[in-house]
Every structure is written in structure tokens, then in C-alpha cells.
């Protein structure tokens, strides 16, 4: 299993009382609540976190894209990934992902990702997403064209990376007379593609397709849902006639490691609560604009009843929406989830909500030293035992 550090870069300096006067932290929250000086401080801290993750031995660092929101200060993950291409030395740099259908000219993404891949000498992981519903309000892009544009933009980017140019790309929504990007990616045929999702059959079919075999990443979901969707991927791969490797599956989840279980819960609570209630919450019409999700999927979703329940930290821990506790507890939980769910990539969100820099730093150290390294050692022992057991047969 590979370990990644993930951050959303929330605007943690938000005035929570002011924020709560509005529906959500997205799209319509006045940006007069944003203070550029606080923003400058937070960017430094968050970039320090990402660079520290490389030094602590994480396999990768992850950034993502959200627009016009206090939820995350990365309207362009390209900017942050570009910095990391030079500031980090060994780790993978995962952009999870670029919201490709939002672009009227997705070739810019083929170019920018190729640049970062080259500058980092092949350390880029390219995530491709549609962007959540709120982005379609923020960007004005038509949500009813989102699926089509995603597939066409994906197709264009892959072709731009793999087919010799110049060539003419023609699809329903895009028509580019000259596709002939310089530079092309450092990795051949192209950087690994990851598809982050909160779970949809269409996405699983797309990611697991034999022509793709893209890594499917389940984000912010209860552990039972993670298992359900990762199993659905394995099942779909079987339907396609191959066995999915664990490296095709990943899970992204908030993690907090404290000195003791009690301390961990006490320390994580305000920041987890802020994550859920201040940053993540949004009204349904903002989350699911018409056409973003198929009518049939929406009917199923509405059938499930209360989808907007905000869990308490205890509920979230129980459901595996967050892993929180002492190092022993987190290590055991993670090992248990890994054995039960099986995934090749684990993305720990070690900063969430309003968590301040010192606390994030301590969390990262405890996770890296007392969770990640022991689990890596355990795996090596396990493999060694397995080999020792096999030896006498020969």
C-alpha cells in the first residue's frame, strides 16, 4: 500500500459566525470575508505541509480543484503542483483532479500537466474529474453537458499525449484544428490517471474499462460505501474479463492521530465539525444542478431519504468517515480497513477544517512515524513470512 498526504487548503481563517449567515461556503459566500493576508499565511503553511510530507516519506502528495469557495483555496491545483514539482524531491504529485469539462479549451490542461510531469521528472499523477455540482454554478458551464464534455475532454487529452501531432480533434463539444502540444509528458505513454469519485456506476465502468484501468479513488464516504464501490470496481473488471489489481483502487479519508483516543477526539472535534458544517455543507440545488446527475440516479438518491444529515464526530468515527484516535487505534483501524476493503493507495487528509498549522504538523509526524512506518514494516514481515512459508515446498 502506498501512502499519500492530501490537503484541501480550506480558508481556515473564516469568520464562522459570518459564514453561518449564508447557505454555504460555496459560490455565493461573499469574498469580502476573505482576507488576503490570512490567505498568504495559509498558503505558506499548507505548502510547508506538502513539502514536509515528502520529507516524512509519504509516497505522494495530493491537491485538488474547487472554485469560488472557502472550502479550498485551490481554484488552480496546477499552481500548487507546479511549486511542488520543484519543492519536493521524491514523492508523486497527484492532481485530484483537474475538472476537465469546465474548460472550453481542455488542451490547456494537457499542456500544463505535461509541463508539471516534465519538471518533476515523471512524478505527476493526473486526476480527471467533472468537478462537483457547485463548480457549474461557479463557472457557468452547463451541467447538462458535463458528462459528454468530460468524456470528450478526456479523450482529447489522452490523444494529445499519445498521438503524434499535429492532428485535428473533432468531437461534439470540441473542435481543434491543431493538436500538437509541446512539451509532451515525461512519463510514457502518459502520467497515471486517477479518477476520484463519491461513487457512481458510470464512473466505475469508465475507470475500470480495459482500455483505461484507471485508479478509482473513493472520497469522503463511510467505510461500508468504500468497500461497496471498490468491490463494484473489482466486479466490473471481472465482467470486462480481467482481475483488478489493488493499485487500481484508493481511498481518501480524514485522519487524526492524537496522543490518546480521548485527546484525539477532543482535539479533532472543532476542526472536523468546521469541515462538515462550515466548509462542506451546501444546499441540494447547489450540489446537484440539473443534468449534472442523471434523472435515474437522482430518483435513487431521493429514495434514500435524508442525504444531508451532518454526522457528529463519534458517528463519523464509527462509520469510518474519519479515522481518529491514538496511533495504536489509527494503525489498527487502518490495517483492519485495508484487510477488509483492500486498496493500493491510502490518502490521509491530515489537515481538515480549521486545523491550525502546529496541529497538522504534529498529526503528520504521528501518522508518518507511528502509523505509516509500522504498517509498512508489518507488510514487509507479512511478505517475508509468506515467502518463508513457500520456501520448503521448493
Partner 1 sequence: MSTSQVTVKEETHKGYALTTWELGAGPPLLFLHGAGGAANMFAGEQPAAFLIELAKSFRVIVPEHPGFGVKERPDWLDNIHDMAYFYLDYLKGLDLGGVHVVGQSLGGWIALEMAVRDTSDIASLTVAGAAGLRLKGIKKEDIFLWTRDDFVRHMFRNPEVAKAFAAHEPSPDQLKAMLRNNETLALLAWEPRMYDPNLDKWLHRIDVPTHVIWADDDVVMPRPYGEGITALVKGAKFSVVPKTGHLLHLDEPQAFSQAVQSFIMEQAA
Residues that bind partner 1 (CB under 8 A): 27-28, 136-137, 140-145, 283-286, 289-291, 295, 298-299, 302
CA angle 89, 8, 276 (to 5 degrees): 150
Closest separation between CB of residue 152 and partner 1, Å? 14
Q: Which is nearer to partner 1, 79 or 299 (CB)?
A: 299
Count of CA atoms in the C-beta half-sphere (13 A) of 199: 18
Distance set, CA 223 to CA 251, 317, 338, 356 (Å): 9, 10, 10, 27
Q: Which is nearer to partner 1, 7 or 141 (CB)?
A: 141
Own/partner pairs for 54-57, CB < 8 Å, 24+ apart?
A: 54/87, 54/88, 54/89, 54/90, 54/91, 56/5, 56/364, 56/365, 56/368, 56/369, 57/368, 57/372, 57/373
Closest separation between CB of residue 179 and partner 1, Å? 24
As given in the structure block, the three cell numbers for residue 209 are 474499462
As given in the structure block, the three cell numbers for residue 320 are 469510518
Q: Which is nearer to partner 1, 302 or 377 (CB)?
A: 302
Q: Which is nearer to partner 1, 39 or 291 (CB)?
A: 291
d(CA 216, CA 226): 11
Residues 240, 242, 243, 244, Cα dihedral to 10°: -60
Q: Which is nearer to partner 1, 137 or 366 (CB)?
A: 137
Closest separation between CB of residue 23 and partner 1, Å? 9
Q: Which is nearer to partner 1, 28 or 68 (CB)?
A: 28
Distance set, CA 382 to CA 128, 338, 367 (Å): 34, 14, 21
Q: Which is nearer to partner 1, 200 or 225 (CB)?
A: 200
Closest separation between CB of residue 201 and partner 1, Å? 18
Q: Which is nearer to partner 1, 46 or 292 (CB)?
A: 292
Q: Which is nearer to partner 1, 141 or 221 (CB)?
A: 141
Q: Which is nearer to partner 1, 296 or 387 (CB)?
A: 296
As given in the structure block, the three cell numbers for residue 100 are 476537465
Closest separation between CB of residue 289 and partner 1, Å? 6
Give me the phi and psi of 129, to 5 degrees please: -135, 165
Closest separation between CB of residue 144 and partner 1, Å? 4
Closest separation between CB of residue 29 and partner 1, Å? 13
Closest separation between CB of residue 317 and partner 1, Å? 31
Amino acid at each position: 500500500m502506498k501512502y499519500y498526504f492530501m490537503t484541501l487548503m480550506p480558508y481556515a481563517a473564516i469568520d464562522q459566525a459570518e459564514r453561518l449567515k449564508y447557505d454555504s461556503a460555496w459560490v455565493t459566500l461573499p469574498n469580502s470575508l476573505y482576507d488576503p493576508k490570512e490567505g498568504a499565511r495559509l498558503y505558506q503553511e499548507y505548502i510547508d505541509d506538502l513539502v514536509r510530507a515528502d520529507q516524512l516519506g509519504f509516497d505522494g502528495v495530493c491537491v485538488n480543484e474547487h472554485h469560488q469557495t472557502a472550502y479550498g483555496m485551490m481554484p488552480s491545483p496546477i499552481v500548487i503542483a507546479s511549486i511542488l514539482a520543484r519543492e519536493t524531491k521524491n514523492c508523486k504529485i497527484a492532481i485530484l483532479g483537474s475538472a476537465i469539462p469546465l474548460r472550453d479549451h481542455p488542451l490547456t490542461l494537457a499542456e500544463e500537466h505535461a509541463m508539471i510531469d516534465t519538471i518533476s521528472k515523471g512524478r505527476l499523477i493526473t486526476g480527471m474529474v467533472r468537478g462537483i455540482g457547485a463548480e457549474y454554478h461557479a463557472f457557468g458551464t452547463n451541467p447538462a453537458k458535463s458528462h459528454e464534455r468530460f468524456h470528450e475532454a478526456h479523450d482529447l487529452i489522452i490523444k494529445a499525449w499519445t498521438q503524434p501531432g499535429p492532428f485535428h480533434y473533432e468531437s461534439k463539444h470540441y473542435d481543434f484544428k491543431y493538436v500538437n502540444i509541446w512539451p509532451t509528458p515525461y512519463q510514457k505513454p502518459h502520467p497515471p490517471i486517477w479518477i476520484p469519485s463519491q461513487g457512481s456506476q458510470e464512473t466505475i465502468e469508465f475507470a475500470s474499462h480495459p482500455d483505461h484501468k484507471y485508479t478509482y479513488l473513493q472520497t469522503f464516504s463511510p467505510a461500508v460505501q468504500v468497500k461497496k464501490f471498490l468491490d463494484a470496481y473489482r466486479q466490473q473488471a471481472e465482467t470486462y474479463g480481467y482481475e483488478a489489481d489493488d493499485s487500481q483502487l484508493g481511498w481518501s479519508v480524514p485522519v487524526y492521530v492524537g496522543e490518546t483516543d480521548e485527546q484525539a477526539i477532543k482535539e479533532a472535534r472543532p476542526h472536523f465539525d468546521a469541515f462538515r458544517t462550515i466548509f462542506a455543507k451546501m444546499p441540494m440545488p447547489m450540489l446537484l444542478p440539473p443534468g449534472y446527475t442523471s434523472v435515474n440516479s437522482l430518483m435513487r438518491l431521493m429514495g434514500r431519504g435524508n442525504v444531508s444529515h451532518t454526522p457528529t464526530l463519534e458517528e463519523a468515527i464509527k462509520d469510518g468517515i474519519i479515522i481518529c484516535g491514538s496511533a495504536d487505534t489509527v494503525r489498527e483501524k487502518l490495517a483492519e480497513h485495508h484487510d477488509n476493503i483492500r486498496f493500493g493507495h491510502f490518502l490521509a487528509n491530515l489537515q481538515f477544517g480549521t486545523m491550525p498549522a502546529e496541529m497538522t504538523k504534529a498529526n503528520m509526524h504521528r501518522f508518518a512515524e507511528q502509523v505509516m512506518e509500522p504498517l509498512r514494516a508489518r507488510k514487509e514481515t507479512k511478505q517475508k513470512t509468506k515467502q518463508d512459508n513457500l520456501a520448503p515446498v521448493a
